[in-house]
Amino acid sequence: MAKPKSLYKCRSCGHTSAQWLGRCPGCAEWDTFSEENSPQGATKGFDYSSGTEPMPISELSTVEGVRFSTGIGELDRVLGGGIVRGSAVLVGGDPGIGKSTLLLQAMGSLADQSHRVLYVSGEESPQQIRLRGARLGVLSDSLIVYSETSLEKVFKAAESVNPGVIVIDSIQTVHSSEVESSPGSMAQVREVSAKLISFTKKRNIPLFIVGHVTKDGSIAGPKTLEHMVDTVLYFEGESGHAFRILRAVKNRFGSIMEIGIFEMREEGLAQVENPSEFFLAERPEGASGSAVVASLEGTRTILVEIQSLVCKTAYGIARRTVVGLDLNKVMLLAAVLEKKAGIVLTDHDIFVKVAGGIRLDEPAVDLGVIGAISSNYYDRAIAEGTILFGEVGLAGEVRAVSRIEQRVSEAEKLGFKRCILPKDNLKAFKGKAGKGLKVELVGVATVAEVIEKLT
Ligand code: TYD
Ligand code: MG
C-alpha cells in the first residue's frame, strides 16, 4: 500500500511543498515549513455561500441596511460604521493589550440592546470572565458565556443558544476533532476558522475572532486567516501607556484609514472623545524641540506633539533614533535640513519621538519633524500656540496637503493662535473658508522659510 504523502506548509504565507524546505520560495522566510497531517483533507472546499442568486448590481441591497451599532462609537468607526451582518472580523494584538476587554465590553453593550451574544472563551474560566464582567458592568442575561475549546461543542451550543453575534476568544485555543494537528497549529487554526466562518455566514450572524500575535508580529497563521475574514483589526498600544489604538488593516466594508482611540482604565476601556486634548495633555510649554502637528487619522484630525533632541555626537557615527515615525522619513528630512537649510547634522545624534506613543504615517507631519529638529538644534522654543503641517520634498520645498479646513479648525478649537502651513494651501484656503478665523495663517514655501517663522 502506498504511504500517504505528507504536505509541508509555510506558517507565514501558506506556500505548500511536497518536501520540507529551509527557506520558503513564497515569502523568503527561513524555517517556516511544518508538516501538515491531512494532506488531502486540509483544503476541502468550504461553503461560504449566503444562498443568493446572480443579480444585476443595481438591484442588490446595500450594505447600510444590514449594519448595526455596537454602542461603542470608536469600534463602530473602525468597523466602517457598525457591525455588518454575516461578517467575520479578526481582532489581533499582543497578549494583555485588551482584546478580551474590548470584546467583552462591546458584547455587553450589544446584550444591553437585547442582542443575544455567545462569548466563547478558551482562555478563561467562567469565574474569571464573571469577575471581569462585573468590573466592566456587563452582567446581562443576553450575554451567554461559554468556556470551551472544542469546536464541535461550540457549534452545538450555538445551535441551542441561537445567538445574534458570536465571539471566539481566541482562535488558537479552539480545536476541531476532525483535524489531527495539535491545537494552535496552522492546520487547526485554518480549519476551525473556515468552519466557523461558514457556520456564521450561513446564518447571517457576525463573528468576532480573537487572534494572538506571534513574536514576528503577525497573527498566527497570518496570511490564510487574513484572507478568510472580511475585516482585520489590530489592537495596539505601548506598554506603559494607558491609551490603545484600534486600527483596521483590512476591511471589506469600510475604510482602513480610520482609527479608534481608547484609554485603559480601572473599570475597563474608555473611549477617548477628544484625542487632541489627550495627546497634548502633558506637553511642556516653552521647551525647545517640541512641535505640534495636525495629522489626519482617517476622517479626523488629531493634534500631536513631536519631540526632538539634537546632541553633538560624542564618538563614532551619528545616531538617529526614532519612535512613532518612519526612521527613513526622519533621515530624509534631516538630510533636507542639512542641504537646504544649512543645519549641519552629520556630527549630531538625532532623537525624534511622537509623544503619547501614537504612530504617525501621514506626509503632513514632515513639517513638524523639521520644526522639532531645528528648534532643538538652535535651542529656541517654537512660539507658543503654533502648530505646523505640510509635506516636505527633497528640494526643500513645502508641498500642499489635503483637508486644510479641518486641520485649521481643530487648531482653533484647541486654542492655537498660529498655523504654519504650505503656501499653496494658504492661497486656496484664503479664497473660501479663511474668513473670520481666530488663527493667524503663515504660508511657507521652503524649509528655510519654516525655520525663520518658527519663533
Ligand atoms: P485583556 O483584555 O485580558 O488582554 P488580551 O485579551 O488582549 O490578552 O487585558 C488585560 C489587561 O488589561 C490587564 O493587564 C489588565 C488590564 N485591565 C485594566 O487595566 N482594566 C480593566 O478593567 C481590565 C478588564 C483590564
Ligand atoms: Mg484575552
Question: What is the band of 28 on the pLDDT scale with cuts at 50, 70, 90?
Answer: confident
Type and span of the H or E element at 243: strand 243-251
3-state secondary structure of 247: strand
What atom of ligand 1 comes closest to residue 170's alpha carbon?
6
CA distance 362 to 325: 9
Q: Is the CB of 427 under 6 A from ligand 1?
A: no
Alpha-carbon separation of residue 417 from 156, 379, 437 (angstroms): 62, 22, 10
Residue 349 has pLDDT above 70, yes or no: yes
Neighbours of 71 (CB within 10 A): 18
Q: How confident is the model at residue 425 (pLDDT cuts 50, 70, 90)?
A: very high
pLDDT of residue 423: 95
pLDDT 10s digits, 227-266: 899 999 999 887 777 889 998 989 998 888 888 999 999 8
Confidence band for 43, pLDDT divided at 50, 70 and 90? very low
Ligand 1 atom index nearest CA of 266: 20
Q: Which residues crowd ion ligand 2, with CB under 5 Å?
A: 100
Average pLDDT score over the chain: 88
Write the residue with the smallest CA distance to atom 12 of ligand 1. Answer: 98
| Ligand 2 centroid to residue 273 C-alpha, Å | 25
For the CA of 136, the nearest atom of ligand 1: 22
Residue 16 has pLDDT above 90, yes or no: no
Of all ligands present, the nearest one to the C-alpha of 97 is 1
Q: Is 98 in the pocket of ligand 1 (CB under 6 A)?
A: yes
Give the pLDDT of residue 395.
Answer: 96
Q: Which ligand is nearest to the CA of 91?
A: 1
Q: pLDDT (tens digit, 9 = 90+) per residue, 283-309?
A: 888 899 999 999 998 888 999 999 999
Q: Is the CB of 267 under 6 A from ligand 1?
A: yes
For residue 95, the ligand 1 atom closest to its alpha carbon is: 8
Q: What is the pLDDT of residues 359-412, one digit of tens each?
A: 899 999 999 999 999 999 999 999 999 999 999 999 999 999 999 988 999 999
pLDDT at 432: 60
The candidate with the shortest Cα–Cα distance to 193, out of 309, 92, 79, is: 92
**All cell numbers assigned to 176:** 476541531
pTM of the shown model: 0.78
Closest C-alpha residue for ligand 1 atom 10: 96
| Residue of minimum CA distance from atom 14 in ligand 1 | 96
Question: Does the structure show a pLDDT above 90 at 218?
Answer: no
Report the topology of domain 278-453: Ribosomal Protein S5; domain 2 (3.30.230)
- Rounded distance between C-alpha atoms, residue 243 and residue 261, angstroms: 7
Comparing C-alpha atoms, which of 108, 116, 117, 114 is closest to residue 136? 108
pLDDT at 215 over 70: no
Ligand 1 centroid distance, CA of 437 (Å): 44
Determine the pLDDT at residue 94: 85
* Predicted confidence band of residue 39 (pLDDT cuts 50, 70, 90): very low
Residue 438 CB–ligand 1 contact under 6 Å: no
Choosing from 135, 264, 265 the residue with most ligand 1 atoms within 8 A of its CB, the one to mutate for a pocket test is 264
Residue to substitute in 97, 101, 136, 267 for testing ligand 1 pocket (most ligand atoms within 8 angstroms of CB): 101
Peptide bond into 170 cis (omega under 30): yes
Residue 151 alpha carbon to ligand 2 centre in Å: 18
Report which protein residue has its CA nearest ligand 1's atom 22: 268
Domain boundaries, the chain: 1-38, 68-273, 278-453
Would you tell me which CATH number, out of the four given (3.60.110.10, 3.40.50.300, 3.30.465.10, 3.40.640.10), belongs to the domain 68-273?
3.40.50.300
More confident residue, 16 or 156: 156
Predicted confidence (pLDDT) per residue in 45-88, tens digit: 556 666 677 888 888 776 555 789 999 999 999 999 999 999 99
